[in-house]
């Protein structure tokens, strides 16, 4: 009986050097809300990378293209924000990336509209998307935080859950929308800088720009 060579083990389904995840909620009713700025970043990067994330399975839209000469998998979870971690865990498997080569872009209430903060690792800061990622994958990824500002009541910042929910799930006013759209472009630039030059270089270049 002739010997048969065993087939080589299959590689990751969407093999990439970097995994870039934008957080948001699926559906047209959420597309223009503050909570979806992470999706906006992925949309910008997809154009730059020459790809278009497509729905694959039940958890995500994913596309693989080239950024700064490296293969980048761009992901928008199909889950709602508070269960984003399931999509991230699957994306890590499908791309073969580790958390050190995973970048997550998301909205931040405690930064003024349009400001960026870039860092590797940290806590979840109360963000529901990050809480879910912590549960399903861990927290040792690179963060690109995009400021959306905190709502105010009577001129004072509010932490009331209902007020905050209304704020993050509503479209920004035109002036803030302009700030956020500019910030999204800078966030995409920052992510390309992370890939080409590292987190510290990106933080030095973008953390103080508004």
Catalytic residues: 35
> For the packed helices 37-49 and 174-197, what is the interaxial angle rounded to 10 degrees?
50
> Do residues 129 and 106 touch, judged by C-beta distance below 8 A?
yes
DSSP-assigned letter for residue 141 = S
Cα 49 → chain centroid: 15
Helix (H), strand (E) counts: the chain:
6, 9
Going by their DSSP bridges, the two strands 116-120 and 142-147 should be labelled as: antiparallel
Q: 171: alpha, beta or left, given left = phi > 0 and alpha = psi -120 to 50? A: beta
CA end-to-end span of the chain, whole Å? 71
């Amino acid at each position: 009986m002739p010997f048969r060579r065993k087939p080589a083990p299959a590689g990751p389904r969407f093999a990439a050097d970097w995994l870039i995840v934008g957080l948001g909620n699926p559906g047209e009713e959420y597309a223009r809300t503050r909570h979806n700025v992470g999706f906006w970043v992925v949309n910008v990067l997809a154009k730059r990378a020459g790809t278009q994330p497509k729905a694959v399975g039940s958890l995500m839209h994913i596309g693989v293209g080239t950024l700064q000469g490296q293969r980048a998998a761009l992901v928008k979870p199909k889950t709602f924000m508070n269960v984003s971690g399931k999509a991230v865990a699957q994306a890590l498997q499908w791309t073969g990336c580790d958390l050190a080569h995973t970048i997550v872009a998301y909205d931040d209430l405690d930064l003024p509209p349009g400001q960026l903060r870039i860092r590797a690792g940290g806590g979840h800061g109360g963000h529901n998307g990050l809480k879910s990622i912590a549960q399903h994958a861990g927290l040792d990824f690179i963060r690109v935080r995009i400021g959306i500002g905190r709502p105010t009541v009577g001129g004072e910042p509010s932490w009331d859950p209902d007020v905050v929910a209304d704020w993050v799930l509503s479209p920004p006013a035109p002036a803030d929308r302009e700030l956020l759209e500019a910030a999204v472009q800078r966030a995409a630039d920052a992510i390309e800088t992370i890939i080409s030059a590292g987190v510290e270089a990106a933080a030095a270049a973008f953390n103080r720009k508004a």
